[in-house]
Amino acid sequence: MYIPSDKRYDTMKYRRCGKSGLLLPMVSLGFWHNFGSVDNYENMRRMCQTAFDLGITHFDLANNYGPEYGSAEISLGRLLKQDFSTLRDELIISTKAGYDMWPGPYGDHGSRKYLIASLDQSLKRMGLEYVDIFYHHRMDPDTPLEETALALSQIVTSGKALYVGISNYDGPTMKEMAGLLKELHVPFIINQNRYSIFDRTIEKNGLKTAAREEEKGIIAFSPLAQGLLTDKYLNGIPEDSRIKRDGRFLKEKDVTKEKLEAIGKLNEFAKNRGITLAELALLWVLKDSDVTSVLIGASRPEQIADNVKIAETEPLSKEEILEIEGLINPAVIV
């Protein structure tokens, strides 16, 4: 029987999500990889127990996380029942809909039909009455934004989500959605977007600025650039890397000579500071208050324990941030 550590809140730091009343841990655990039907359940248990014992109260999912689609939510439902049944009020559970989920015209994008039906399915898989945050997972140019906003409003009004968020939106569309949801009195509090030392998309498309202006939080996924910003790639591409196992998201062609040189320089900077490259990458994403939390993925509990060390690490100074910029060839930044 799992008994959580009574010191679980001693070292983790929590940041306010925009102007809302909700606090999120600096480090949150994502279920994108390693929580599907093909993965080892006991390893999932150890990872979630380790995370919670270290103050990670936020578990993040989506309807189609797996593989198979939906299986990460099924795994979470099993974990909640077995280990966290008495701890629901100490957890933030989020899920999403917006990408391909089931066959036919109603299992994708941003329609009212899809979002409401998908959340109903997600709640059944997880064995929950509500989620804390429900996201529209991506912009949908073919569905009126008003329709998506009304669906999110109904989801909150029905009690199936406490807050809503949007993911993979650009700045102008985010501001438009924020206006619609404000009129509907919907507690829209957070944006989820890719962000790392190598990926500055949210700076270029205006999302980071728009979130600050609208007083919404940001939670960053892929802060380690799919593992590139760890010591795994210091000597090239290892055989057990994600690239070799599954090249859907990180491809061998993306690991350029220039990027490897930057990784080496960043690693030396981290060593001189007394931290790991991964810790440096996470601290960089959290360098200002615009970002509420970083979403980490993990394949074993030790990775989680290593990553949460940033909660006790001195933040990067302005001088260090400038020095980091000087170590990176601008050509490797997207």
* 262 belongs to a structural domain: no
pTM over 0.85: yes
Residue 1 CB: number of other CB atoms within 10 A?
4
Q: What is the pLDDT of residues 29-74, one digit of tens each?
A: 999 999 999 999 999 999 999 999 999 999 999 999 999 999 999 9
Q: What is the pLDDT of residues 102-117, one digit of tens each?
A: 999 999 999 999 999 9
d(CA 257, CA 269): 19
* 244 belongs to a structural domain: no
Domain total in the chain: 1
* 76 belongs to a structural domain: yes
The CATH number for 218's domain is 3.20.20.100
Domain assignment of residue 72, given as a range: 14-225+284-317
Q: What is the pLDDT of residues 117-129, one digit of tens each?
A: 999 999 999 999 9
| Residue 96: C-alpha distances to residues 62, 102, 163, 209, 229 (Å) | 4, 14, 12, 23, 26
* 210 belongs to a structural domain: yes
The pLDDT of residue 254 is above 90: no
| Residue 132: C-alpha distances to residues 60, 61, 159, 191, 246 (Å) | 10, 12, 10, 14, 31
* 174 belongs to a structural domain: yes
* 75 belongs to a structural domain: yes
Q: Are 197 and 225 in contact (CB under 8 A)?
A: yes
- For residue 183, with 0-12 CB atoms within 10 Å meaning exposed, 13-18 middle and 19 or more buried, which class applies? exposed
* 267 belongs to a structural domain: no
* 250 belongs to a structural domain: no
